[in-house]
Structure 1
């Protein structure tokens, strides 16, 4: 197969625009609307007046782009600028909501100044609990103890909790396993202590109490700060005398209590052990200061505890249950495993994600600066020169909340959370590797790059082909030993999405996201998608046939010499896959000045022909020949892309049946009434 060396596939082709070329190229209406929406929902007052964006609180480019596209998917008949801006404003307000009118406790305001920790994935705010009057068991509360007291006339402890994002507080009935930690005067669960908790039931006001309260939960983790003297003394005195190597069979059998301190190296996915009656299990790999590894196991309802911890954090386990592997049903080579027992208490020193100052490239300065600060004097250039982005322990920088659009020319090693917008120049399956991997070449105005798309089972993105415009989020860029860039994407990763704009049903009917082109414009701007108002012409030259296509990807299937049916794109055996009849249509489109020859398939061909492939197939041969004549002068709004494959030596190991198609593909069509 061509490009058998994976490294060469990832070679970036950065051909930056020549001076002055940008002025001749028409602006993409979709990108222009993103910038307009950004100026509406993130006005200048959100930005740091110093121009350094370290305190930037506005909406990132990829957040806005993703939200617009999700709305377009929801409104398949089309959207207006008002619909999009309303949805964006509401979503952004919810994300930034500060809650009711109550004043946030002063202790939280004091602590917030040094709060640099990233939110856990399932975190909800106290304000949102009040708004929805609901709390799921898997939700996480990242709380600060505002007060701890005993309910009058009882021995029941109550904690009043606040958080960094809410103005409301909420009371928690403390679980009795933590009573020894709150008992004054030396209790650790006191005012200004941070805790994580999950598995909470909400007792609402309707059930007899004056305000919502949280019922006791066993699943609570107490946060420690190594920079505080009291916490540092606690860690040293209680957790540093034992190590994983000090655990012994005799000690375990004699009921010795261990207090252990280790770094969280990894957290496994949820496992279902069918051989054990469907038991649920999560495995957390811990590494102590001596480099010894041990597994910490969570079972069944305990697995939600994993929502409270993160890789890189330090976990302190007081009195964990220690299972001797040889005496249990555990299939492991480890001598011991730790478990969350009835007496176990957990403490956490959270991994604090560092931030790195990222200077804006000339790409952002050129294309974004003047738009971001519309009120500024354009002769002064952009105010923003750099932004602060989170950086993990391996030095990878997360660009998921980057304020501006990223281009191919901006890519470098150790980048995560990348979103790119561009034109597909090639796409095919890599057949000589394990797993389901497709290679896709994406091009924008600054260059092109190959990306590896990893799928868990099979292609799941619908029809994607050469010339289509795509938005991809959740990309990771790294540098290989050969000093080349490698771009990868996995459909199961958080934040991963792939949206084919060329095939979006809403696109042709959303005037705020496109600008109508004439067919004569196509020759001068061949690299973009065009929305045109046309009619069908020269029906004598209209070619209509039906073929079978692979439903998941929309590409035609072919019969192999062995008699098996294979997808020309996925290269999978389609005997057990969903195969359906589809049109292969070639026809002439015309407007007042120009005519072009184009082709299409799938739903687009059905929209143009106004008949299904199965219905057409049932017509007699004479009726099939005569059918196109009924379409002459029918008017449509169509999306057109240049589907001509670039001449790249050996870029594919086989050609699909569409390879004989003409240069223009109709990706969407809407009949004009």
Structure 2
């Protein structure tokens, strides 16, 4: 099914691609669902987030570089969205939720797997996290082995766990580990062998289980008050009493950090802050580091009988400060941080851009606002925002923001090897974005005029109330896709409209798809250069070696020969003088740089002449604001860059 029924007009900067995104959202939204609700959490969301939809379409485009149809994209989208909604409509949630009562919402932990997926794959990674509630506690017949039957909020089935013996003291009528108790666990392995004549899977014992507490429940509040509010971190500073007292602490998780390995042993540290604002490090060693996957910044940690040690910063230093460690007698309880929410009003830009699509919202005062979660610092998380955010909508205290627009400048921060600045423009304005990489630049070639999608942006106000927008490669949800270089964009008729070359000056702020013929090319238009593999920019030859003109990093072994090509393309409406580099130039020339250089000069000229009047589908972008290193004199480059080319058979 092609999206002929799309009623929204083409976006000024996204063309048919964004038309399709809006169309897909309307199709998924109108498909409704089973109408089931998540008890205590309201109905499952009927409209997929705009950023999620764009990311899913781009994921399919990357998977099918030879092209996709509307039917393939809609099928992939619908399947992914159904899986998302399925987690909110599982049958056993009624039983599980009745055990959980109406406890505060909290974020799902990274690496969390569902019980349904464990049964489906018949596999459970030791690094996975299981967030569960105890459905039943029983003794395995004929043994003294305790078992827990676990369920979760996202599954229709349950699973049995062999309880590790370090938790046996917490079993009993008046003990804390009983029906209705929430737990999180990791370091699990699955036993799939036949047990007592049945073949159902069970989880083998793990010592890495954390019992969750709720301060609003009387039983839990009494436990915390009686056992964990006696000592502060300053209580153990005197060495005389330290060895004679069994300490229990209650503190907030401020940071979770990975330390350098100590020898060959992995380490993580949890920075804890108690009620007196005293700080101490809780160190995890070796296999214990998986425990950190069960914690979240801002949550309260109740530590019973931690091992008190001295902390060495690295392999060569003497132990310096006191720290806590996870010992054989240590028990960990967690009071998870609640997920706070905030009502966000749609801006006039968003209302106008959605047009009649907003009619799907209820006709009341909620039609102009949505509810989004807030993080620990009070910033609103826009990763689940149902509509497109524009540059003009950005303000302080926003995280998880997605933008779609055109690059107007890109450069490296001279003082840093991993920080760059990128300007993005859409129909409402331009924003300067700070890109922070874990190592070197990793986004491939990005140039002025390229059409990009970026998610995971953070917006904040500095001390003088100037908006600062940043993006960090290591943050969850961070994504950057250069649509102008995406092969599937040329190969997928549902994602582009064909433009005439005469249309280019009238909408120069986006990438156009055109069908053209090669009008003119000669030897003087062609230059061979070295290109940096990481970023696609020209490599400069300096006295002390090769250096990327963009990244400014040495790249003796990380560069490849390639073409810089000037050419004239034409269709029935216009001729345009343009340029291209790298793989796009190879697509035009249909020969590799090495093969071309092996030809004698007269044969090179003859070969180029035979290419004239060949037909191509091209992606072409306006680079008039360019200041880059593709040529010694940037003015020598034409305004139009051909970013992708596909020869028409």
TM-score (norm 2): 0.92
- Comparing 28-37 with 616-625, greater Cα deviation is found at 616-625
Cα displacement (A) at 1:128: 1.1
Q: Is the 8 A contact 1:568 1:656 kept in 2?
A: no
What do the CA deviations read for 1:384-441 (whole angstroms, capped 9, x no partner)?
Answer: 311111112211111111111111011000111111110000111111x234211111
Matched, 1:197 2:197: no
Q: What stretches of structure 1 of length at least 5 have no aligned partner?
A: 1-21
SS, match of residue 70 in structure 1 = helix
Partner of 2:577: 597
What do the CA deviations read for 1:210-246 (whole angstroms, capped 9, x no partner)?
Answer: 4221111100111111111111111010000111111
Matched, 1:519 2:501: yes
Map 1:492-507 onto structure 2 (within 5 A).
492-507=474-489
Matched, 1:455 2:441: no
Q: Is the 8 A contact 2:233 2:274 kept in 1?
A: yes
Q: How far apart are the structure 1 equivalents of 2:233 and 2:278?
A: 7
Matched, 1:569 2:550: yes
Change in Cα spacing, 1:450 to 1:313, as seen in structure 2 (3 Å) is same
2:354 paired residue among 368, 372, 379: 368
Q: Return the structure number with greater relative CO, CA threshold 8 A, min gap 6.
A: 1
Change in Cα spacing, 1:586 to 1:617, as seen in structure 2 (3 Å) is same
Q: Is the 8 A contact 1:354 1:391 kept in 2?
A: yes
Partner of 2:218: 229
Cα displacement (A) at 1:466: 0.6
What do the CA deviations read for 1:257-292 (whole angstroms, capped 9, x no partner)?
Answer: 11111111100025322xx2x011111111111111
Matched, 1:80 2:69: yes
Q: How far apart are the structure 1 equivalents of 2:343 and 2:522?
A: 63
2:337 paired residue among 332, 344, 351: 351
Cα displacement (A) at 1:331: 4.4
Map 1:524-535 onto structure 2 (within 5 A).
524-535=506-517
1:475 paired residue among 442, 452, 457: 457
Cα displacement (A) at 1:62: 0.9
Cα displacement (A) at 1:334: 5.1
Partner of 1:15: none
What do the CA deviations read for 1:53-88 (whole angstroms, capped 9, x no partner)?
Answer: 997353211111111111111111111111111211
Q: How far apart are the structure 1 equivalents of 2:292 and 2:424?
A: 37
Partner of 2:620: 640
Q: Is the 8 A contact 1:99 1:128 kept in 2?
A: no
Q: How far apart are the structure 1 equivalents of 2:435 and 2:13?
A: 30
Map 1:282-293 onto structure 2 (within 5 A).
282-293=268-279
Q: Is the 8 A contact 2:267 2:289 kept in 1?
A: yes
Matched, 1:162 2:143: no
Partner of 1:70: 59
Q: How far apart are the structure 2 equivalents of 1:99 and 1:398?
A: 20
Partner of 1:32: 19
Cα displacement (A) at 1:24: 10
Q: How far apart are the structure 1 equivalents of 2:314 and 2:422?
A: 48
Change in Cα spacing, 1:229 to 1:598, as seen in structure 2 (3 Å) is same
Q: How far apart are the structure 1 equivalents of 2:10 and 2:205?
A: 64
Partner of 2:605: 625
Cα displacement (A) at 1:484: 1.1
1:41 paired residue among 8, 25, 28: 28
Cα displacement (A) at 1:125: 1.0
Partner of 2:4: none
Partner of 1:212: 201
SS, match of residue 268 in structure 1 = strand
SS, match of residue 624 in structure 1 = helix
What do the CA deviations read for 1:120-148 (whole angstroms, capped 9, x no partner)?
Answer: 01111111111111111011111111111
Change in Cα spacing, 1:630 to 1:653, as seen in structure 2 (3 Å) is closer
Matched, 1:245 2:245: no
Partner of 2:6: none
Cα displacement (A) at 1:523: 1.7
Change in Cα spacing, 1:619 to 1:468, as seen in structure 2 (3 Å) is same
SS, match of residue 505 in structure 2 = coil
Cα displacement (A) at 1:101: 8.3
- Comparing 112-121 with 285-294, greater Cα deviation is found at 112-121
Q: Is the 8 A contact 1:105 1:162 kept in 2?
A: no
Change in Cα spacing, 1:328 to 1:669, as seen in structure 2 (3 Å) is closer
Q: Alignment length, in residue pairs?
A: 635
SS, match of residue 552 in structure 1 = coil
Matched, 1:140 2:129: yes
Matched, 1:418 2:401: yes
1:304 paired residue among 280, 283, 290: 290
Partner of 2:425: 443
Matched, 1:669 2:649: no
Q: Is the 8 A contact 1:535 1:589 kept in 2?
A: yes
Map 1:260-299 onto structure 2 (within 5 A).
260-269=249-258, 271-273=260-262, 276=263, 278-299=264-285
Cα displacement (A) at 1:572: 2.3
Partner of 2:304: 318
Q: Is the 8 A contact 1:559 1:565 kept in 2?
A: yes
Q: How far apart are the structure 2 equivalents of 1:98 and 1:397?
A: 23
Q: How far apart are the structure 2 equivalents of 1:24 and 1:58?
A: 20
SS, match of residue 569 in structure 2 = strand
Q: How far apart are the structure 1 equivalents of 2:509 and 2:88?
A: 47
- Comparing 149-158 with 473-482, greater Cα deviation is found at 149-158
Partner of 1:14: none
Q: Is the 8 A contact 2:523 2:604 kept in 1?
A: no
Q: How far apart are the structure 2 equivalents of 1:659 and 1:632?
A: 26
Q: Is the 8 A contact 1:135 1:202 kept in 2?
A: yes
Change in Cα spacing, 1:521 to 1:352, as seen in structure 2 (3 Å) is same
Cα displacement (A) at 1:369: 4.4
Partner of 1:188: 176
- Comparing 383-392 with 291-300, greater Cα deviation is found at 383-392
Cα displacement (A) at 1:95: 2.5
SS, match of residue 269 in structure 1 = strand
Q: How far apart are the structure 2 equivalents of 1:100 and 1:289?
A: 40
Partner of 1:613: 593
Q: How far apart are the structure 2 equivalents of 1:327 and 1:599?
A: 54
CA RMSD, 1 decimal? 2.9
Change in Cα spacing, 1:165 to 1:494, as seen in structure 2 (3 Å) is same
Change in Cα spacing, 1:335 to 1:664, as seen in structure 2 (3 Å) is closer
Q: How far apart are the structure 1 equivalents of 2:560 and 2:588?
A: 19
Q: Is the 8 A contact 1:325 1:331 kept in 2?
A: no
Cα displacement (A) at 1:153: 2.8
Q: How far apart are the structure 1 equivalents of 2:317 and 2:516?
A: 67
TM-score (norm 1): 0.89
Q: Is the 8 A contact 1:411 1:477 kept in 2?
A: yes
Cα displacement (A) at 1:99: 9.9
Q: Is the 8 A contact 1:558 1:566 kept in 2?
A: yes
Q: How far apart are the structure 2 equivalents of 1:392 and 1:25?
A: 33
Q: What stretches of structure 2 of length at least 5 have no aligned partner?
A: 1-8
Q: Is the 8 A contact 2:522 2:605 kept in 1?
A: no
What do the CA deviations read for 1:145-170 (whole angstroms, capped 9, x no partner)?
Answer: 11112223322111111111112111
Q: Is the 8 A contact 1:541 1:587 kept in 2?
A: no
Q: How far apart are the structure 1 equivalents of 2:365 and 2:564?
A: 50
Change in Cα spacing, 1:654 to 1:630, as seen in structure 2 (3 Å) is closer
Change in Cα spacing, 1:76 to 1:484, as seen in structure 2 (3 Å) is same
